[in-house]
């Protein structure tokens, strides 16, 4: 599939409203490979600089967003700790679109149908610029981490699994 035209998404409109500078970057979508690592390769950034947005729910039924580096795996126990819950689980794919208004490969905190608490992995602050989904497949937003945290109203936390040392 060819990349979509860089149309304004709800996320981009939110950033405009907040006066936050960003760049929209399109890429070719492969429906068979929606991984953040694939997206990173297509937009020319290292995977750890391309953040993916996951939807989870707590044992109390509250939904939360987790924003983690594209090459990392979410640690559900760490997310639960950040969300002050006993337990968290990833939301099922069939829950994602009705709750967020976004499809897999295009989920973003900004402009989501419903507002849920957002937790961003603390490594987000290591970069001058990060990339997140603009709210549709084939379109990424590049912006400063501090601006993203403000726009997403995200709380910083350690959210990823520790990679086993060889």
pLDDT tens digits, residue range 103-127?
999 999 999 999 999 999 999 999 9
For residue 88, give its domain range.
Answer: 10-157
For residue 163, tell me if it sits in a domain.
Answer: no
Whether residue 95 is contained in a domain is answered as yes
- What is the Cα gyration radius of the chain? 15
Instruction: Kindly state the average pLDDT of the residues 66-94.
Output: 96
**For 151, phi and psi rounded to 5 degrees?**
-65, -35
Return all residues near 16 (Cβ < 8 A) that are at least 6 apart.
8
Residue 162 located in a structural domain: no
Residue 92: inside a domain: yes
Percent of the chain at pLDDT > 70 equals: 93
What CATH number does residue 21 fall under? 3.90.960.10
Number of structural domains (the chain) is 1
Q: Please give the model's pTM, rounded to 2 decimal places.
A: 0.92
Answer yes or no: is 2 within a domain.
Answer: no
User: Considering the domain boundaries, does residue 5 fall inside one?
Assistant: no
> Is residue 80 in a domain?
yes
Residue 162: the pLDDT is 81
Nearest of 5, 2, 27 to residue 133 by alpha carbon:
27
pLDDT tens-digit map of 35-79: 999 999 999 999 999 999 999 999 999 999 999 999 999 999 999
Give the contacts of 13 (CB within 8 A, at least 6 positions apart): 111
Structure tokens at 128: 């001058």
pLDDT at 91: 96
104 occurs within a structural domain: yes
């Amino acid at each position: 599939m060819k990349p979509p035209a860089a149309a304004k998404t709800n996320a981009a409109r939110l950033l405009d409203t907040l006066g936050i500078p960003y760049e929209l970057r399109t890429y070719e979508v492969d429906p068979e490979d929606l991984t953040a690592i694939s997206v990173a390769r297509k937009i020319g950034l290292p995977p750890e600089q391309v953040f993916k947005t996951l939807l989870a729910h707590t044992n109390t039924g509250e939904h939360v967003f987790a924003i983690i580096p594209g090459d990392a795996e979410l640690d559900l126990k760490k997310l639960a700790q950040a969300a002050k819950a006993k337990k968290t689980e990833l939301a099922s794919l069939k829950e994602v679109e009705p709750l967020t208004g976004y499809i897999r490969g295009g989920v973003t905190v900004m402009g989501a149908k419903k507002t849920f608490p957002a937790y961003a992995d603390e490594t987000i602050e290591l970069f001058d610029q990060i990339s997140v989904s603009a709210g549709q497949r084939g379109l990424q937003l590049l912006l400063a981490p501090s601006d993203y945290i403000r726009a997403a109203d995200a709380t910083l936390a350690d959210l990823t699994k520790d990679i086993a040392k060889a």
